A and B are shown apart, each in its own frame.
Chain A
Amino acid sequence: MDGYDWSLRVRDLVKVFNQKVRANDGITLTVEPGEVYGLLGPNGAGKSTLVKQVIGLLAPDAGTIALGPHDLVADPDAARQLCSYLPQAQMPIASFRAREAIDITGMIRGGDSESVARRRDELIEALDIGEWHNTLGARLSGGVRRLVGFAMVTVCPGRVVVLDEPTNDVDPLRRRLLWQEVRRLGDAGVAVLLVTHNVMEAERAVDRLAVIDRGRLLAEGTPSSLKAEDRGRLRLQVMLAPRAETPELPPFVQHHTRVGHNLLTVIAEAEAAHAIGWAQELIGLGLAEEYALGATTLEDVYIRLTGDVEAGGGTVP
């Protein structure tokens, strides 16, 4: 050990665009080495702005970002060397063979060709993309291209690895493989900053997470600590009939939100029997088609905090 504190330390970060939009409004957080830290929030919450300051693409208006002995705001070159970044957009590798793209980025990141080749083979196997290792990027499906991008970014990882929606387009089986690799990064002492709005996935993958909205950090903690406030509550999910209006809500519904035909409600455990009765009544009236009652999830916390319904792919229990 070199005696430095290799946690990523963001303090009071402020970024203002066009002198009025406060994209980051005093954000403070710490990501420890070995930790997978989720950054959750709706579109426009300020997640990407935060991340781009960490990796040295944007300069904050106020606040500090430190990693080890380095001030990443003053030294964006250090930020680029110490942080690896998988953007949300696809990688520009149309004319690269998958293997080649991983190798070149590994060597750009300072790896020697031998260890890059070894680690590349391991990643290709671990992510189960071997059959495409010699395929041009232009001919890869979106999901495989995404996995190649992940391998490019992590073949020689920095102290911090920033992953912006890493599982987009990736099939369910390979998603699990990818999360295993994220875990391995953590085990190797890398601080992983995971940007997502897929709450269900984040709940399983992260050690801690922060919910961000309108440039502010609304809550931070482990998934269970964030759900603690919802202890004693249940979620009742009602699938409304096509074109049905949102029905009048009984007084025991504490929060609700509607995503398409999905009506998500949070109720007290003691009201479970009433809630089931209400849902069956809706079905009887032809206003709903089915319902599910279950434990509250991180998604309910997220909706309560942000008032936002955009929880991509995470609405089905």
Chain B
Amino acid sequence: MTALAPPAALRSGLGYWWHSYRMMLRWEITSLRLVLPVTVMVQVLTGAGFVLALGLFFGRVPPRAALFVSTGVVVLTLTTIGLVLGPQLIAQQKAEQTYDFLWSLPVPRTTAAFAWLTTNLVLGLPGMLVALGVAQLRYDLDLHVSPAIVPAVLLTLLTGTMIGYALAHALGNPMLIAAITQLFIFVILGFSPINFPADQLPDWLAALHRWLPLAPMADTVRAGLTVGVVEDVTRSYLVLGAWAAASVGATAAILRRRG
């Protein structure tokens, strides 16, 4: 019989953090195993579908519009996972009462957040790449991919994921979380200057979007894929950076919270 030795000392330090991160990542990926292929497929199909639907709808698409929509779809695929799928999974854990068990696991809580962020990257990247590839084939886009796409994608993913994560953990009622994610989809798809320029929105909404994270996400990602389309990317980085810092801060506070 194996000796059952209760823990002698508390674990701590970088080794403990790294081990816990790897284990939580394994937990996340295994938890999603049954839905992972479908989720990635849905991301790929909605991204590519969005790009192709534009051509079906308008027939001849002006190059600038094609460029806007195709680069905007990247932001759509990156944000919907963090802002919609993530909160829905947490809502499900709360509804099924499995949340307490996961929350009682002996890992630094930041490792759970980082594992979820990594999972989002795995879920989001294929959809993003396929959407861009399809757009390039269909519209012969004038893409200029620069290294700036890497920080833009990471910052967009980080901010979207952490806002969704903090919100879902903060709200107790799973129904409320589900309702808010519906609102997110509505706002992201219909009323955000992601797939179209902000000047097509009413002035007040355009002004509001200057301070919300969605337009800066689209600007920074677009600036990493094109030349001469985005004017003031520095401001977008500053606003998005502030949202990233705030969402990480909110997540850190929620992770420490006890009822």
Contact = CB atoms under 8 A, between A and B. Distances in A.
A108 B105 contact: yes
Interface of A: 2, 6, 52, 55-59, 70, 76-78, 80-83, 85-92, 94-96, 100, 104-105, 107-110, 115, 118-119, 122, 136, 138, 156-159, 184-185, 188-190
Contacts of A55: 104
Nearest to B89: A92
B34 A138 contact: yes
A89 B101 contact: yes
Contacts of B5: 188
B11 A92 contact: no
Given A77-B108, A104-B30, A190 B6 contact: yes
8 contacts: A55-B104, A92-B93, A104-B23, A107-B19, A108-B24, A108-B105, A118-B2, A190-B4
A122 B101 CA distance: 23
Contacts of B24: 108
Contacts of B60: none
Interface residues of B, number: 37
A87 B100 contact: yes
Nearest to A52: B100
Q: What 7 A-B pairs come out closest when comparing CB atoms?
A: A89-B97, A188-B4, A92-B98, A59-B258, A81-B106, A95-B34, A95-B33
A58 B2 contact: no
A240 B207 CA distance: 75
A115 B4 CA distance: 10
Nearest to B22: A107
Contact of B23 (A107, A115, A189): A107
A189 B6 contact: yes
B20 A108 contact: yes
Nearest to B101: A87
B34 A56 contact: no
Nearest to A17: B259
Given A57-B103, A92-B98, A108-B107, 13 more contacts: A6-B6, A57-B104, A87-B97, A87-B101, A87-B104, A89-B101, A95-B31, A104-B30, A108-B27, A158-B6, A188-B5, A189-B6, A190-B6
Contacts of A105: 105
Contacts of A157: 4, 6
Interface of B: 1-8, 10-11, 19-20, 23-24, 26-27, 30-35, 93, 96-98, 100-108, 258-259
A104 B87 CA distance: 24
B115 to A, nearest CB: 11
A85 B98 CA distance: 12
B7 A110 contact: yes
A278 B23 CA distance: 65
Contacts of B35: 95
Given A90-B98, A91-B98, A107-B23, A85 B6 contact: no
Nearest to A189: B6
Nearest to B3: A188
Contacts of A184: 4
Contacts of A108: 20, 23-24, 27, 105-107
Nearest to A188: B4
A188 B6 contact: yes
Contacts of B107: 80, 108
Centre residue among A70, A80, A92 by max chain B CB count within 10 A: A92
B98 A89 contact: yes
Contacts of B7: 81-82, 110, 156, 158-159
A78 B104 CA distance: 11
Nearest to B97: A89
Contact of B106 (A109, A118, A122): A109
Nearest to B11: A110
Nearest to A89: B97
A78 B5 CA distance: 17
Contact of B259 (A59, A70, A88, A89): A59
Nearest to B35: A95
A77 B35 CA distance: 32
A32 to B, nearest CB: 13
